[in-house]
Amino acid sequence: MSKGHVRTGGLTFRALAALIGAGLILTSCETIRPVVPPTKADCDELIRTYAKTRKDAVNLKEWTDRDWDRDLKTWDTKGDGHIDRSEWNASALKLIADNPGDPALKRILRESNKLFDRIDLGHKGYLNRHDFEKDSVATFNRQDRNHDGWVTRAECMAEGSTPPPVK
């Protein structure tokens, strides 16, 4: 593994997905940008997980079709309908404690506050369902490089791309 390479496969990929929104796509694994593009295996896992109408690509509805309320309840430990920065960081620390030695998760913790700020669209100091949904759509639109309404393996693997988290 080269210096600066972040491996996002298997358990790491799912843990990364969980950090971005508790099984959330996800939003976006996209929200943590690896140094190198995702691997073929990462993109194949994304397509296997999300694709329902085609075997080689994912559309926006499939990309964002999830139980957002369930995902947010997992992270909303105070039960107030919002995920504040302390809940967000506590969840990141728990993931690292549950997966010791995972270099991708250590990177997530370092970038956790930047990620929180990026998803917090209105700079409210907390995240809600709307923030995650909007970020998920923006992620899809960045990935769909040819703007045909589908993200293929090639688009997923393109330089600067990051796949959404696996459910």
| pLDDT score of 88 more than 90 | no
pLDDT score, position 15: 43
CA distances from 157 to 32, 35, 128 (A): 15, 12, 29
| Strand ranges in the chain using DSSP code E only, listed in sequence order | 57-59, 83-84, 126-127, 150-152
For residue 2, give both structure tokens.
Answer: 């080269």
- DSSP assignment string, 125-156: SEE-HHHHHHHHHHHHHHH-TT-SSEEEHHHH
φ/ψ bin of 123: left (φ > 0), alpha (ψ from -120 to 50), beta (otherwise): left
For residue 14, give both structure tokens.
Answer: 């799912």
Residue 117 CA to residue 101 CA, distance in Å, equals 26
pLDDT score, position 20: 43
Q: ∠ CA 149-104-29 to the nearest 5 degrees?
A: 20
Among 51-55, 68-72, 73-77, 87-91, the minimum mean pLDDT is found in 68-72
Residue 147 CA to residue 131 CA, distance in Å, equals 23
Per the model's pLDDT, the better-predicted residue between 74 and 120 turns out to be: 120
> In the predicted model, what is the mean pLDDT of the chain?
74
Is pTM, for the whole model, over 0.85?
no
| pLDDT score of 39 more than 50 | yes
Domain boundaries of the chain, sorted by first residue = 10-157
Tell me the percentage of the chain whose pLDDT exceeds 90: 16
pLDDT score, position 31: 43
pLDDT score, position 126: 93
Residue 23 CA to residue 38 CA, distance in Å, equals 19
